[in-house]
A and B are shown apart, each in its own frame.
Chain A
Amino acid sequence: MQRKVPALLLAMLLATGLAWAQAEEAPLADPVEATESAEEAVIEGVEVEADAPITSAPIGDGMVPPSGIVASDWPNDAGDALLVSWEPGSETGNETFIGYSVYRRIQGEEELALVAVLELDDGTSFIDGYDPDYWVEPGVQYEYSVAAMYMNGGEVASEITAAQETAANQFYHTGKTRVLFGCVLFLGLILFYFHAAQRGLEMYLRPIAGIEAIDEAIGRATEMGKPILYVPGLSTISDVATIASITILGRVAKKVAEYGTPLLVPNRDPIVYTIAEETVKQAYMEAGRPDAFDKDSVFFLTQSQFAFVAGVNGIMMREKPATNFYLGMFWAESLILAETGSLSGAIQIAGTDAVTQLPFFITTCDYTLIGEELYAASAYLGREPKQLGSIKGQDACKGIIMAVITLGILLSLTDLIAGTETLNWLKNLITMPIVD
């Protein structure tokens, strides 16, 4: 058996090599011989009807090349793409036809460059400029030729045709109009509630257990004389969840400063570390206790994900903090952190917008801020009118989305029950892709 396998592999290699050599020689043969060799070389697995015209190319007579090449500007781009399309020639229905080669040159140049090879299923058009090796420059006049390719390697090429348009820069992406409409609507609503809140409009916010428990958690740590651990997520400052976490850190640090409770803030990202340190320092100043701020309370640990987890877990087991906050962006480490915190006996408050990590936090923590509650926490803690207004604005946006979803469900049900498609136009309006 051990000897048979290499022998079999060697035989397969030899057979492949011979077949390849035959295929390489075929285009060099004269048209008549090539036709015969193409018939012989009808590749295994490709069914050819007995009377199908098997021709090799280039043969000249009787073969009609692709024609009607149209090269127009591809819309909504930085002037770096052209849409090239053509009419097929006599290759359609020919069993040895395998696809198209598209050639291009700048007007005035001699040599054509092969910019694309399309298979049968790719159709009779392609977008030129997406290949980084053959980019399209805006305003440059190109010329195209399309050749039908055959199994024996021969090609029947069209005439060289100048592109009808040059690639042009666009100032507005028309496919994003619906996004623009949505943005304007939602921005308008949020700004409206900002101003309404400033004018003194009373706003009710439903109580969120996780946020209301923050004071209780800080108080518990103070009574026990143990530190509070605050992990502002593992992401960078460009993540909005991290910014939301830093905002909550400011509020927590202010209360911690007032109560004189020790605070530990380990960081994974150096930029987040510098901002967190400044935030905590400022909070201590605002609480009127700048002298109580310990520079070592906010520190950088490591950028390595699991090394960070190991470090924080070590702190939990050694320092035994009374309260753990995990607010921000978390990945696979969420459960390792929260389970260790649970083992250490700390009260735990978590919050993240990472949907996949939420179940782990809900299972292991005492309170969890789910998704948007993380963003709302800062407004809840501060109770500033503009902050509250932004939450009302979000609620209004969600109200609109809920209404649209309900409408979509009703329309689908109506059609399903009545067996009609009368309201399809409205359903399509709701379910159409947001960016074309």
Chain B
Amino acid sequence: MKRSVPLAIVMVGGILFMIQYFIPHQHSQTLFEYYTEWAPIVGAFALVLGVGSLTRLHSHKIKRKAKNWQYSYAVLIPLYSIPFFALVMPQSLGGGMMQTMGGDRLTMGVFDFAYMNIQVPIQATMFSLLAFYIASAAFRAFRAKSALATVLLLSAVIVMLGQVPIGELLGKWFPKVGLWILRYPNLGAKRAISLGVGFGVLATQLKIIFGVERNWLGGAGE
């Protein structure tokens, strides 16, 4: 029962929405819209489980005084205090969320302050690390250790020089050849991967619909 009901729902739903794609009728569209509206609601409920998991994990760490247990406070305190400031604390005491009128800030509480001055800069910092990592990854990828790696290195140099003004100064053909590499060999390879992915997705969906693949139910294929 625990398995057969979800399997039946998936099978019926999968076949139904496969057919729905070919039916433009109003009822068919309404059914699809209902489904797409319901899906995020389920997600919202699952968030409670997620927060519960995080709380359990870090409270266990603190309780057991596990390695680096102090960091768990850095997770748990903001996890509960920030929503408290945003949703419970009165505005007069720095609570609530930012209110604006015509682009002007009317109020800014602890929640907005923390978001704008802590979370946003930290996220930007994480993202900016990408630039340095790309440089180190490029260095590793472009070492000409074999014939294929040399071809890769040459292609990369041509494409990169084709994208910057100095490339055109060095040779008029750089942008043209760079564009050709991007448009033909590169695009061809990307399309081949996309094609394989498309069939992989199709086959996986069929396996799920017909109950061949059941791991998503929480089992290991049995």
Contacts and interface: CB of A to CB of B under 8 A. Distances in A.
Interface stretch (B82-90, B98-106, B176-184, B199-207): B199-207
Contact of A275 (B202, B203, B218): B218
Interface stretch (A6-14, A113-121, A276-284): A276-284
Contacts of A176: 21-22
A222 interface: no
Contact of A250 (B24, B43, B56, B219): B219
Contacts of B77: none
Interface in B31-85: 39, 42-43, 46-51, 53-54, 56-57, 60, 67-68, 71
Interface residues of A, number: 93
B92 interface: no
A238 B162 CA distance: 39
B123 A306 contact: yes
Interface SS of chain B: helix
Nearest to B25: A169
Contact of B53 (A246, A279, A300, A401): A300
B75 to A, nearest CB: 9
Nearest to A257: B220
Interface SS of chain A: helix
Residue among B18, B28, B42, B201 facing the most chain A CB atoms (10 A cut-off): B201
Given A270-B49, A371-B197, A172 B216 contact: no
A336 B126 contact: yes
A240 B201 contact: yes
A173 to B, nearest CB: 5
A258 to B, nearest CB: 12
Interface in B5-24: 18, 21-24
A275 B212 contact: no
B193 A371 contact: yes
A302 B58 CA distance: 13
B163 interface: no
B209 to A, nearest CB: 10
A339 B195 contact: no
A238 B208 CA distance: 12
B125 to A, nearest CB: 8
A275 B126 contact: no
A281 B190 contact: no
A364 B200 CA distance: 24
A231 interface: no
A128 interface: no
Interface stretch (A51-59, A90-98, A144-152, A381-389): A381-389
Contacts of B119: 304, 307
The 6 closest A-B pairs by CB, nearest first: A278-B218, A270-B50, A375-B200, A300-B50, A372-B196, A372-B200
26 contacts: A172-B24, A186-B202, A194-B210, A250-B215, A251-B221, A254-B220, A269-B43, A270-B47, A273-B50, A274-B49, A278-B218, A279-B215, A279-B220, A281-B218, A286-B220, A299-B54, A300-B54, A314-B71, A318-B68, A339-B136, A372-B193, A374-B200, A375-B200, A375-B204, A384-B221, A398-B195
